[in-house]
Amino acid sequence: MNIVIVVGTRPEIIKMAPVIKELERRGIEFTFIHTGQHFDYEMSQIFINELGLPKPDESFILENNDPVSQIGEMMIKLERSLERHKGGKHKIMLIQGDTNTMLAAGLTALKLGIKIGHVEAGLRSFDWRMPEEHNRRMIDHVSHYLFAPTEISKRNLLEEHVWGEIFVTGNTVIDAIDIYFNKIRDVEEKVMQQIRFERYALATFHRAENVDNLHILRDFIRILRKSPIPIVFPIHPRTRKRLQEYGLWNEIEEIKHLQITPPQGYFEFLTLMKNSTVIMTDSGGLQEEATHPKIRKPVLVLRNSTERPEAVIHGFAKVVGVNPVVVLTELEKILSNEIKLPEYSPFGDGKASIRITNITLSRLEE
């Protein structure tokens, strides 16, 4: 068992699912570890079950919440987990993205002499306020195999003179939607019966640099209040907590054309995306998912930067920040004009997991 796959958050589970499925299809054994980075461990377990993934060989619930202690705790627990499985004989660790889990996993692999394959390498926002920007740069510079989703991400890596091998593979998020899109049929009727509006914008807002800032949070509420279209808002636990701490929860509850829902499962969220008119988000992954040919929705990025410029270049997304005047003006433009979006996704053809698996197996043979 030479391959180990590490995940810690729900987006990582979704994006690694196609690689796991491909390894299983070929009968390749691997060790699967879930670090439990997010406190919603049970939700992660539900995701693993929903996506038909194997039960993790190791999973743990973290005791620390602050980033430094959390990374240290993960490294200690990962080392012990790897030692328990096959006596620490792993040769390649596959990790995905830019969370604290991925940084902890990458550093642990490096110190144990395990080669690192970084799925979704080379993304850059050039925004140093984002903890994810620190993480992804450090991970890329210690990785042996860099699976860049696009030519732009490859160029970022070349410009930084990373020493690992770079491969353009596409993004596994497109593979995931290909694999699981039919599951929408099982939940679509139930999900849409609960939505009060025929036509709506889908909004998500959770990034620390946004929701931890009272002024930005107030601007977001102004956008919701003055939106010319009803809004469905699956609320992140962090956002709910901050709204309550800042005494803003009553304000948001009073908005009549706003429907707040709990966090959604993967299939349920794809359903909401598919049936929306426009998406407003500070998420990175949604910018990719919105470009899938079976979703194809315009996105207003509620941030000052994006590490997914491909979505902007191809007309799917526009970076608008959180200034209410700017956001509402751009929202009006989308609603009053017929938006023509490409029929293809700039993030790949749905075969990224096949390419990543091929490269990983070829490097193991060497």
Backbone dihedral region for residue 90 (phi beyond 0: left; psi -120 to 50: alpha; all else: beta): beta
Structural element, H or E, at residue 146? strand 145-148
Question: Do β-strands 145-148 and 231-234 pair in parallel, antiparallel, or remain unpaired?
Answer: unpaired
Active site residue 206: yes
In the predicted structure, residue 41 carries a pLDDT above the cut 60: no
pLDDT for 37 equals 64
Average pLDDT over the chain reads 93
Contacts of 317 (CB under 8 A, 6+ apart): 287, 290, 298, 299, 300, 301, 306, 308, 311
The answer to whether residues 278 and 297 touch, using CB atoms and an 8 Å cutoff, is yes
Which CATH architecture describes the domain 182-336?
3-Layer(aba) Sandwich (3.40)
- Strand, coil or helix: 182: helix
Structural element, H or E, at residue 259? strand 258-261
pLDDT for 59 equals 86
pLDDT tens digits, residue range 120-166?
A: 999 999 988 888 899 999 999 999 999 999 999 999 999 999 999 99
pLDDT tens digits, residue range 241-298?
A: 999 999 999 999 999 999 999 988 899 999 999 999 999 999 999 999 999 999 999 9
pLDDT for 60 equals 84
pLDDT tens digits, residue range 182-215?
A: 999 999 999 999 999 999 999 999 988 899 999 9
In the predicted structure, residue 38 carries a pLDDT above the cut 80: no
In this structure, whether the domain defined by 3-170+351-365 belongs to CATH 3.40.50.300 is answered with: no
What the block records as the tokens of 283 is: 């998420």
Amino acid at 89: K
Please tell me the distance from the alpha carbon of residue 96 to that of residue 99, in angstroms, as a whole number.
9
Among the residues of the chain, which ranges form H helices? Answer: 10-25, 41-50, 67-84, 100-112, 131-142, 151-159, 172-180, 184-193, 208-211, 214-226, 237-245, 249-253, 266-275, 285-289, 309-313, 324-336, 352-365
In the predicted structure, residue 40 carries a pLDDT above the cut 60: no
pLDDT for 83 equals 87
Q: Taking the CA atoms of the chain, what radius of gyration do you get in angstroms?
A: 20
Angle between helices 67-84 and 100-112 (to 10 degrees): 50
| Mean local confidence (pLDDT), 25-49 | 80
pLDDT for 10 equals 87
What the block records as the tokens of 108 is: 């642990």
The answer to whether residues 326 and 83 touch, using CB atoms and an 8 Å cutoff, is no
Give me the residue spans of the domains in the chain: 3-170+351-365, 182-336
Name the pTM for this structure. Answer: 0.93
The answer to whether residues 278 and 286 touch, using CB atoms and an 8 Å cutoff, is no
Phi, psi of 318 (to 5 degrees): -135, 130
pLDDT for 87 equals 60
pLDDT for 84 equals 86
Catalytic residue of the set 34, 90, 118, 206 = 206
